[in-house]
Structure 1
Amino acid sequence: MPLTNAGRNFIAAAIMNDGPPAFFDGAGSFIGAGDSSTAFAASQTDLQAASNKLRRAMEAGYPQRTNNVLTFQSLFGTSEGNFAWEEWGVFNDPTAGVMLSRKVESLGTKTSAQSWLITVDITVNIGS
């Protein structure tokens, strides 16, 4: 899953301790879902949906890190995110902040009869 430019810049700033970044920790990580199928571009800073988009906080104990794999997990309850899920991303703020990554993928249409638990694994690699 490719990083956004903002995600790349966040990592560079964190390595240098350049400013107080809002870390992707248990209190500051969110998964967002939206209904836009607009292609990914590294310059994007938010989900591309005009109105059908929502961010949810992490489940207890998330995010997690095992070596170079970051795992994020959020629950969208019956009253949340009831639209076609065509995109999702990982954020460090409930409404603004840094979008670390975004994926365009049709996951189906969530209804009020369902709760969806989404888990995102991001593998940090070196080289090309």
Structure 2
Amino acid sequence: MTATDTGRATTLWQVHRWNADQTAWVQRHTGLIAPQAADFTRLNVDPYDTSEILGNLVTNAGWTRLMNLLTNQGATQALDATHVRIGVGDSSTAEAYTDTNLLGTNKWFQPVGGAGTLGTRTLAFSATFGTADGNFAWNEFGLDVTSGTAAASNTVGALLFNRKAGIAQGTKASGQTWAATATLTFS
């Protein structure tokens, strides 16, 4: 089998972390209650830690959504910034094609900001988890697609597109701001 005989989708997950002091400083200097990752960057406040995790499993529902979009099969919601969220959870249970939700006891889905970034064979989404969002151990990631306008919550939307477990990103604490980016690559 050659590279041209296969098709795959993988995700590069990146997490940028700002501690409570950095967050408070940006809040004071911007007047924003919930600064976004771009606000930290604009003020040259570097994250205290950044990590990257490569890999994911596109769920059965995710593949079905892609195939429906490719073949124009009915009223299927596209993966766009109005309807996609990045979810985090505290489960380390391995991912499976049949996953329909993050598996953690604690989970949080945060709407992505902006329009997403579309490149050659890539699609990237970013979400900023503010001081009160996702304050637990981050052991799994996933993208979900909502049927209505995306809002933050601990409930999966219309479908879980992909999932990566066993990521051991540490525990986000109250007062901290973490930003997660998911860059999907199709090859």
TM-score by length of 1: 0.91
Which of these residues, 101, 122, 126, is aligned with residue 184 of structure 2?
122
Determine the structure 1 residue equivalent to 2:123: 70
Superposition deviation, residue 115 in structure 1 = 0.6
Percent same amino acid at aligned positions?
A: 34
List, as ranges, runs of 4+ consecutive aligned residues in structure 1 with deviation greater than 6 Å. Answer: none
Equivalent position amino acid for 2:113 in 1: E
1:98 aligned partner, one-letter code:
L
**1:8 corresponding residue in structure 2:** 63
| Residue 90 of structure 2 corresponds to residue 35 of structure 1 | yes
Q: State how far apart, in whole Å, the 2-side matches of 1:124 and 1:2 are.
A: 12
Q: Deviations over 1:16-36 (max 9, x none)?
A: 111211111110110000001
For residues 4 and 20 of structure 1, the distance between their equivalents in structure 2, rounded to whole angstroms, comes to 20
Q: How does 1:88-107 map to 2 (within 5 A)?
A: 88-93=141-146, 94=150, 95-104=156-165, 105-107=167-169
Residue 83 of structure 2 aligns to a residue whose secondary structure is: coil
Q: Which has the larger radius of gyration?
A: 2
Partner in structure 2 of residue 58 of structure 1? 112
- Measured on the aligned residues, the alpha-carbon RMSD in Å equals 1.1
Across the two proteins, how many residue pairs are aligned to each other?
A: 123
Which residue identity does 1:123 align to in structure 2?
T
In structure 1, runs of 5+ residues without a counterpart are none
What is the letter of the counterpart of residue 109 of structure 1?
A: T
Q: CA deviation at 1:60?
A: 2.1
Residue pair 2:81, 2:125 contacting (<8 A) in 1 also = no
| Cα drift, residue 55 of structure 1 | 0.4
TM-score (norm 2): 0.63
Task: Show structure 2 runs of 5+ residues with no match.
Answer: 1-55, 151-155
Match of 1:112 among 155, 174, 180: 174
* 1:118 match: secondary structure: strand
Contact 2:90 2:140 in 1 (8 A): yes
The answer to which of 66-75 and 88-97 deviates more is 88-97
Normalized per residue, the structure richer in helix is: 2
Deviation, structure 1 residue 2: 2.5
